[in-house]
Amino acid sequence: MTGLPVTGPAGTPPAGTSGAGPLSGYRVVDLTVNMTGPLATMMLADQGADVVKVEAPQGDVIRRLGSGRAGTTAYFANLNRTKRSIVVDVRQPDGRDLVRRLAEGADVFIENFRPGVMERLGLGAEELCASHPALVYVSITGYGRTGPLSATPVYDHVVQAVSGIAARQADRSGVPALVRHGIVDKATGLSVAQAVTAALLARARTGTGSRVEVSMLDVALNFLWPDGMMNHTCLDPVTELPPIANTFRLTETADGFVALITVTDDQWQGLMRASGRADLLEDPQFKTSADRLRNGGKGMRMIATVLAGMPTAEVVARLTEYDVPCAAVTGLDDVRTHPQVIASGSLEETIDPYLGRVVQPRPAPRFGGIPEAPRRPAPGLGEHTDEILGELGLTPDQVLDLRRRGVVGGGAATFDREDPAG
């Protein structure tokens, strides 16, 4: 690399790391954008890993997608807290060399571009792992590396269609629908985060890293299958009952909606008594759980007629008295003030330097006996470029030269021509 030292990382502890969290001491180089990869790497950062987010000069596209201000959005902030951002133009040879240098000092390298993109840049797994055998190299794709769709652009919406999720969401008239948030993206992020920690555990035993590949299609199918495909699992003849999916419907009240479900005999009996239809307890159509799966739609329509005349609060109170699982539907504006959400400490309010006051979920896993890693707001574009380059051993003059040549901290679009997965 022109004008840069040829030695590896400086070896000093990463700035911004606290020594807290179960992943403290691990470094992740994150070349992902959109939601799949950024969610995975944010989970790792929440657990103490030093996540270096390598961004193109124009930044992750979701910095500009959705509601926000001051050059960032809530969408970006919700997926990138506690990371550090460095801007590198990998179209330039010196930019690619910087990314290689970052990978040499990392434990994990994650990317989510179409198959072949990283290889064309000289940043593929074969090249990086050859010089760093302990590296865990993670690739997120839409459909994997083979097949008729492998080279096509992929987002959550289209994977929901291909995987059967949209068909599973069909209403009573049979019209399919999409789940109205990035369910595949998020399930993929969760799968990637788990796979990373599994690969690091294996490396602790063997001393060797691994290549991890996760496709959104594989994740979507795994996510849908246990209950969503229960009637499409057995290829030989079996006794077929209506799918569990039929139970995922809301029940209208006089002033709103409630979700309720009965699985056990006691819960079904409680629902009958709470709704004043104890007479149905002797109806042979509803005696067993199999009977209720077969005929439950008819029974629930009878119950719905009763509950539709009651206020929501009364419905919830009656069902709760009989230990029937239920909840009123909470409006989006009311989620953060729900008594259970407050009591659980599930959300926390912080100050974002760009967005002002924000409310976000705290990390779901809570580790007893391990100090919690502090959380920081999502970084500004290239906020930590100089800091990270300093850790690589570059002098201020060398950093300035890179900036002048547009290798870091600016330049034309880098990744826009290659659609990432999710």
How far is Cα 351 from Cα 418, in angstroms, rounded to an integer?
A: 34
Q: Rounded to the nearest 5°, which phi and psi values hold at 239?
A: -75, 115
Contact 40, 189 (CB under 8 A): yes
Tell which residue, 216, 198, 204, has the closest CA to residue 140.
216
Tell which residue, 155, 54, 157, has the closest CA to residue 111.
54
Buried-state track 173-204, b at ≥16 Cβ within 10 A, e below 16: eeeeeeeeebbbbbbbbbbbbebbbebbeebe
Tell me the β-bridge partners of 50.
27
Query: How far is CA 220 from its chain centroid?
Result: 12
Which secondary-structure segment (H or E) carries 101? helix 93-104
Residue 73 tokens, joined: 């959005």
| Pairing of the two strands 27-31 and 84-87 | unpaired
**Tokens 């390298």 label which residue?**
109
Half-sphere exposure of 134 (CA within 13 A, CB side): 14
Instruction: Please name the residue ranges forming H helices in 207-338.
Output: 216-228, 265-274, 289-307, 312-321
Residue 385 tokens, joined: 């470029």
Tell which residue, 387, 377, 382, has the closest CA to residue 45.
377
Tell which residue, 365, 361, 373, has the closest CA to residue 77.
361
Tell which residue, 41, 113, 39, 51, has the closest CA to residue 85.
51
Which residues are annotated as catalytic? 185
**Tokens 């590396």 label which residue?**
145
Q: What is the dihedral of CA 216, 220, 221, 224, to 10 degrees?
A: 170
